Structure 1
């Protein structure tokens, strides 16, 4: 007689696509923002608030780092632990470094060749990179960070420091938050404390001492969400406060002059300095994350057709960002040379959006096929082991 199971099999937890979809939105905004003549950048976050896609990107990098490496390090060996976590982090940093080098070399060589045929404004490439080969060593050692090619080095530094952040968190989450806040305050009090940049006397545009703060906030948000089945606390008063802050940001930061509209600004806000991560900026990024990760409606949106396409981009953020950066360079060159009329606008955006989506789709398909093959291999191994055990029986 068959015996009834003692307990129902546990249901597999459904993947939360909100973070991936939000990262996908940030990647698309970066794609538009890095081409100043692109009409689409009039509709990105920087026109409707204090922050832009960079704050969202780094905040989610901290969030994803906890999911990918924090939980791994906290698991006991052999499937986890500090050694395995360090190895994964170093491999990821090396991959980020390689992508940075490829993007930079493509950018420099492309602009140098383009100049043989058409005029290129000097601001497309720093004078130090325009001639000779003396720049190569500075580039290889991350001492030279051109515009639009400075966020991956920041990510490398922050990710390399992640084990230190985790160590402080294990002692006390408040200790990690306190140290991170102190470093952010220090960077804002003295912006000269920065990593040198051969191309800019002010140092790295994204000051790691300041930007680690939003990375750590993302990490702590992931810890908190992990204790609540992926959701951040979202009491009504907090969500209302976040919405009011975002609405205020729209009123204060909307480019009324560019649209030929009368200004509705209520107050005069000092410049929200990006290099040292002014508090206007990280507050807005945090408000967006809270609203997304505390909302069941956001969960439903992420499961729609559009939400899944955005999540697809977010799952392959490094490749999408890197290709988008290269395509942005060509978009700027084309628009500068041939104008930014509607024909060029449609062509450039169709190639850009289609290109990054095609790459994400191919990578996702390749990953699924690899996972299926791996699963079939494990199944065959188990079957062979079972058959071998049967053969040895008397």
Structure 2
């Protein structure tokens, strides 16, 4: 087996850290993440690299063994993600409930869609099992369950009819999701649908699959014209989001409503910005430069253990959210400093976690990336865990509220 791609692991690790930072409100570090300088954020990266990594892992195997074995693995993975989602949501709800008992702060029970769990518990439990009830910051795994289930169909279409036809199918589903009421419902809240609409977000996943199948571990051919266009898009987004770096107050509010940037149904503006940013990172070989340093090495290590890091990061983020609520309602001084220190400690814990895992099971670090060479595709991570001798590939908010 050939070595897995350090490049994919690097970007996956970076996005997992970014998600952890963004899910602990008010920590100061969240202002340094790329959602503050553009129209997309870690969620787009998270989904794209899921499809990319699956294609690189399973593309050659499907060509050799057919779609059956891959479909069975994806079904197993979807079941594992479903169980993980239930466990994580239960952990979050119990944590917030326990801290409410200790402090009496009611926001712990009501913020980010948690109220139904405590006000309509029977309905919420049924909704949780049916994936129709999702609390804030814990609603990306239901999307991944769906993506894992539809992935074999996309691989089958790509194999028999080509990646262009597969993308055409994904685009048709995306357009249907934008125009027809096919979004999975949100219940028992009864307002709207899932925070991440699978019918639209699957398009970004399909783009990742197409990229993985088309380039097969090699970088896309660099074009100075495309690099220039992508740089222009990224620069314009940065100008808009920052009100021209403070020179044009109100620019963001005037322009963004016209750009189709909705997160729930994956606005076109988000797709364009993410695609431009991803291509730019690939073309400039950012991972090759940054990934060689000590920080890059730690991010790569985090990326090799996608699911454990995602789970641990989600748990730490839930506790961080609760602690910031308690600190804010208790009118403690230095809430932002407390949140920042907690966030840094959480990142340190994640680094320690993967080091312990690799120390206790060295074989798990000798992951495999099917097919050729080292991958230079730079995009963004998702918990598709390292393919190892013993571990599986796996795949990051509220019924409506916050962003991932």
Q: SS at the partner of 2:265?
A: coil
Q: Is contact 1:66-1:223 (8 Å) kept?
A: yes
- Indicate if the aligned counterparts of 1:86 and 1:163 stay in contact, CA closer than 8 A: yes
SS state of the match for residue 31, structure 1? helix
Q: Verify: 1:290 aligned to 2:273, yes or no.
A: no
Indicate whether 1:161 and 2:155 are aligned: no
Distance (Å, rounded) in 1 between the aligned partners of 2:285 and 2:364 = 32
Residue 178 of structure 1: aligned partner? 168
Alignment of 1:273-288 (within 5 A): 273-288=262-277
Which among 207, 210, 214 is matched to residue 197 of structure 2?
207
Aligned counterpart for 1:236 among listed residues 224, 228, 235: 224
1:351 aligns with 2:345: yes
Give the unaligned 5+ runs of structure 2: 329-333, 367-404
User: Quick check: 1:125–1:146 contact (8 Å CA) kept in 2?
Assistant: yes
For structure 1, which segment, 335-344 or 271-280, has the greater mean C-alpha deviation from structure 2 after superposition? 335-344
Q: Which runs of 4+ in 1 moved over 4 A?
A: 12-15, 259-262
Distance 2:268 2:198 in 1: 15
Aligned ranges 1:1-394 → 2 under 5 Å? 15-76=4-65, 81-118=66-103, 119-121=105-107, 122-131=110-119, 133-134=121-122, 135-170=124-159, 171-190=161-180, 192-198=181-187, 199-226=189-216, 229-254=217-242, 262-263=248-249, 265=251, 268-269=255-256, 270=258, 272-339=261-328, 341-369=335-363
Q: Which moved more, 1:83-92 or 1:327-336?
A: 83-92
Residue pair 1:158, 1:212 contacting (<8 A) in 2 also: yes
Map Cα deviations across residues 95-134 of structure 1 (whole Å, 9 max, x no partner): 2112111110011111111111220312145321014641
How far 1:274 sits from its partner (Å)?
A: 0.6
Q: Specify whether residues 364 and 133 from structure 1 end up closer, same or farther in structure 2 by C-alpha distance, changes over 3 A only.
A: same
Q: Is the 8 A contact 1:49 1:250 kept in 2?
A: yes
Q: Is the 8 A contact 1:34 1:148 kept in 2?
A: yes
Are the equivalent residues in 2 in contact too, given 1:47–1:255 (CA < 8 A)? no
Q: Is the 8 A contact 1:120 1:333 kept in 2?
A: no
TM-score (norm: length of structure 1): 0.82
Q: Distance in 1 between matches of 2:55 and 2:84?
A: 22
Distance verdict in 2 for CA 1:172–1:254, change over 3 Å:
same
Aligned residues of 1:251 and 1:264 also touching (Cα < 8 A): no
Q: How far did 1:250 drift?
A: 0.6
Distance 1:366 1:243 in 2: 44
Structure-1 separation of matches of 2:266 and 2:324? 31
When the two structures are superposed, what TM-score results if normalisation uses the length of structure 2?
A: 0.80
Note if contact 2:25-2:321 (Cα within 8 Å) is conserved in structure 1: yes
- 1:376 corresponds to which residue? none
Displacement of 1:276 in angstroms is: 0.8
* CA distance, structure 1, for counterparts of residue 157 and residue 215 of structure 2: 19
The 2-side partners of 1:200 and 1:36 are apart by 26
* SS of structure 2 residue aligned to 1:115: helix
Greater relative CO, 1 or 2 (CA 8 Å, sep 6+): 2
Aligned to 2:393: none
RMSD value over aligned CA atoms?
Answer: 2.4
Q: Which one has the largest radius of gyration?
A: 1
Classify the secondary structure of the residue corresponding to 1:244: helix
Q: How many residues align?
A: 352
